[in-house]
């Protein structure tokens, strides 16, 4: 923390702008989570009576649709609810697309060819968790982090604290779309499991991306300790491993639980995470608003006395009063005022001004 | 009365970080991610070095195979495991054959058998070496073509394979043990490190091929 920052460097209006929330973002997030959960339960319950006689092209289209649907549903809700900020909607959509494209050309080849996960990953649950913590989560979360850090952090795109979670969710949902697509692509049939997998991925990645975006936004708008960003990154990576360990655990109980138990677990964890994130954002926003009020008071108190300013203020006040009071009647004898009287008047005014300044606290 | 909070405003906490502070935070994130990935790389190496073993006899060489590969029964071989993640037409595989010791020198005998058994056989390299305990062994690298079942609807599949043949005791008798490591030619580069590890464990040293 550099000691040369004073309250005069902070603009209360900037703090109020940062603290403005986006209800549309939270509403879109909650609606999407509910829709994903509902669709998963409908699909998992087999209410549609899945037809297996689908053409290869239709299966391909359904796989792509299931993978990208959660992100597009969220973006759609956000676009509908957020009517003021067209720029925010556009940036969110661009982040979704860019993250998906970059995931496909960077993270996926690294996982498949460099780390060769397919060759050894399914050796046991402990290998899954360790591989997730040491390889998959760092690569995926690093991609989201770098896109946010170099895409929206430096400029004026991120204008509010809540923009961090907003852009984090958009970016993470782009990654989730490709992760889901890779998971369901090899399947020859379109099954309820494909919908469930896409839903689980979307909910988990949205929750993790939200936290990463929040940390970046907080770091963008207020000074944080040096360990803050790396600490949050490590926490998000750990949560990634924990999240999918719990979801896999729920899947392992599939013999005794409904097919959608993994999705329900993911939805509960994601909704808890969103609620916690919303609480943190609200708390920080309040802190920003309180700070804005305090800065105003402090700036007012610490403003150095300016004689010239006060003279101008008095002159303004006089002019205002003069405008309200009727002009004095014209002098009956147009004798010019004496020079001694003018000097005496000026001296009186000066003394009155000095006395007024001394009286001020 | 003025509250202390209003007097002592921590202005620096609500001021964006400086350029160098932001860069330092960014660098620390990259360091953390790098350390995790380094650990991941070591974990991958360790995991890839984990094998199950096929024991021939007590005190005899044990033949390693990847634990994630699936056992597949085939009357033409004594033991076979296949890579479940490999291509559908010809997944990467490790096979073990236990044969009677031939009359003629091992490399020639085994080469002749392969020529007779495989379509479009092409020998790529052929050399003799010694196992860790000094036993002679033959290493044969070759390619051949496999015709997939008609229902798969594919044309011929080019297969790249390596055989390691050596004498070993099995059920009290001296036999010729042949370990075959094979994969589709297009999949060869992916499984080559695994095959190298398997051969290195049998031979006891790095095998140059």
Domain positions in chain B: 11-46, 53-203
Mean pLDDT, range A210-227, rounded to an integer: 92
B91 in reach of chain A (CB within 8 A): no
CATH topology of domain B53-203: Protein Transport Mog1p; Chain A (3.40.1000)
Closest approach of A337 to chain B, Cα-based (Å): 51
Q: Are B182 and B82 in contact (CB under 8 A)?
A: no
The predicted pLDDT at position A250 comes to 83
Q: pLDDT-derived band of residue A2, with 50, 70 and 90 as boundaries?
A: very low
Measured distance CA(A139)–CA(A1) in Å, rounded: 31
- What does the pLDDT look like over A230-261, one tens digit per residue? 999 999 999 999 988 988 888 887 777 777 88
Is a pLDDT exceeding 70 seen at residue A275? yes
Q: What are the φ/ψ torsions at residue A298 (nearest 5 degrees)?
A: -65, -40
Tens-digit pLDDT profile for residues B82-114: 988 777 788 999 999 998 887 766 667 778 888
Selected residue with higher pLDDT from A337 and B51: B51
- At A119-128, the pLDDT tens digits run 777 667 888 8
Query: Min CA distance, B111 vs chain A (Å)?
Result: 31
* pLDDT tens profile A14-69: 888 898 989 999 999 999 999 999 988 888 776 566 666 778 888 899 999 999 99
**Residue A180 confidence (pLDDT):** 94
CA distance A117 to A140: 14
Would you place residue B1 in the very low, low, confident or very high pLDDT band (cuts 50, 70, 90)?
very low
Q: From A276, A213, A270, select the one nearest A247 (Cα to Cα).
A: A270
- Buried b / exposed e across A93-111, counting CB within 10 Å, b at 16+? bbbbeebbebbbeebbeeb
Q: Is A314 among the domain residues?
A: no
What confidence score (pLDDT) does residue B2 get? 46
Question: Tokens 């209800």 appear where?
Answer: A23
User: What integer pLDDT is reported at residue A32 of this predicted model?
Assistant: 95
Chain A neighbors of B92, CB-CB under 8 A: none
Whole-number mean pLDDT of chain B?
Answer: 85
For residue A325, what pLDDT is reported? 62
Domain residue limits at A51: 8-300
pLDDT of A73 above 50? yes
- CA–CA separation, A98 and A75 (whole Å): 14
State yes or no: pLDDT of A277 exceeds 60: yes
Tell me, what's the pLDDT at A1? Answer: 42
**Span A135-144, mean pLDDT?**
96
Q: Do A295 and B29 touch (CB under 8 A)?
A: no
Per-residue CA distances from B6 to A224, A300, B123, B155 (Å): 21, 11, 86, 82
- Judging contacts by C-beta atoms under 8 Å, the chain B residues touching residue A141 are 33
CB contact under 8 A, A118 and B85: yes
Q: Would you say residue A150 lies in a domain?
A: yes
Is there a domain that residue A266 lies in? yes
User: Does B11 have pLDDT greater than 70?
Assistant: no
Q: Closest to B68 (Cβ–Cβ): which among A7, A123, A291?
A: A123
Decide if pLDDT at B145 tops 60: yes
Count of domains observed in chain A: 1
ipTM above 0.90, yes or no: no
In a domain, A313, yes or no: no
């Amino acid at each position: 923390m550099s000691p040369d920052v004073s309250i005069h460097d902070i603009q209360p209006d900037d703090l109020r702008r940062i603290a403005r929330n986006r209800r549309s973002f939270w509403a879109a997030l909650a609606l999407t989570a509910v829709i994903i959960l509902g669709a998963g339960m409908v699909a998992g319950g087999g209410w549609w009576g899945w037809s297996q006689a689908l053409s290869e092209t239709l299966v391909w289209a359904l796989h792509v649709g299931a993978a990208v649907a959660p992100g597009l549903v969220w973006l759609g809700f956000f676009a509908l609810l957020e009517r003021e900020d067209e720029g925010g909607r556009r940036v969110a959509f661009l982040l979704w697309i860019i993250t998906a494209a970059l995931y496909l050309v960077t993270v996926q080849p690294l996982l498949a060819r460099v780390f060769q996960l397919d060759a050894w990953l399914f050796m046991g649950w402990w290998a899954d968790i360790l591989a997730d913590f040491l390889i998959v989560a760092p690569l995926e979360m690093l991609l989201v982090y770098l896109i946010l850090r170099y895409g929206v952090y430096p400029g004026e795109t991120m204008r509010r604290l809540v923009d961090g979670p907003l852009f984090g969710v958009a970016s993470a949902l782009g990654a989730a779309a490709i992760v889901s697509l890779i998971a369901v692509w090899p399947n020859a049939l379109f099954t309820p499991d494909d919908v469930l997998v896409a839903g689980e991925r979307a909910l988990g990645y949205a929750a993790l991306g939200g936290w990463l975006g929040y940390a970046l936004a907080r770091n963008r708008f207020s000074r944080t300790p040096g360990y803050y960003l790396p600490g949050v990154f490590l926490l998000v990576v750990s949560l990634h491993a924990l999240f999918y360990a719990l979801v896999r655990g729920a899947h392992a109980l599939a013999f005794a639980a409904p097919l959608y138990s993994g999705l329900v677990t993911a939805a509960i964890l994601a909704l808890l995470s969103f609620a916690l994130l919303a609480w943190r954002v609200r708390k920080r926003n309040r802190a920003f608003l309180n700070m804005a009020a305090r800065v105003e008071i402090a700036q007012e108190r610490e403003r150095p006395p300016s004689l010239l300013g006060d003279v101008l203020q008095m002159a303004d006040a006089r002019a205002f009063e003069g405008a309200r009071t009727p002009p004095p009647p014209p002098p009956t004898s147009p004798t010019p005022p004496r020079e001694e009287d003018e000097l005496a008047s000026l001296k009186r005014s000066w003394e009155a001004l000095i006395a007024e300044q001394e009286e001020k606290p | 009365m003025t509250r202390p909070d209003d007097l002592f405003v921590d202005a620096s906490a609500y001021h964006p970080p400086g350029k160098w502070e932001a860069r330092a935070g960014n660098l620390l994130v990259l360091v953390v991610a790098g350390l995790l990935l380094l650990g991941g790389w070591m974990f991958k190496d360790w995991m890839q070095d984990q094998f199950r073993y096929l024991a021939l006899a007590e005190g005899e060489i044990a033949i390693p195979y990847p634990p994630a590969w699936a056992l597949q029964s085939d009357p033409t071989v004594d033991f076979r495991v296949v890579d479940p993640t490999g291509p559908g037409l010809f997944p990467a595989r490790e096979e073990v054959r236990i044969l009677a010791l031939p009359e003629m020198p091992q490399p020639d005998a085994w080469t002749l058998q392969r020529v007779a058994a495989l379509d479009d056989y092409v020998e790529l390299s052929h050399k003799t070496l010694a196992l860790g305990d000094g036993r002679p062994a033959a290493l044969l690298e070759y390619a051949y073509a496999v015709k997939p079942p008609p229902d798969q609807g594919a044309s011929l599949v080019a297969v790249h394979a390596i055989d390691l043949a050596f004498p070993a005791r099995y059920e009290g008798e001296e036999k010729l043990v042949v370990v075959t490591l094979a994969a589709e030619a297009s999949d060869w580069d992916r499984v080559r490190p695994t095959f190298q590890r398997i051969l290195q464990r049998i031979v006891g040293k790095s095998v140059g091929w």
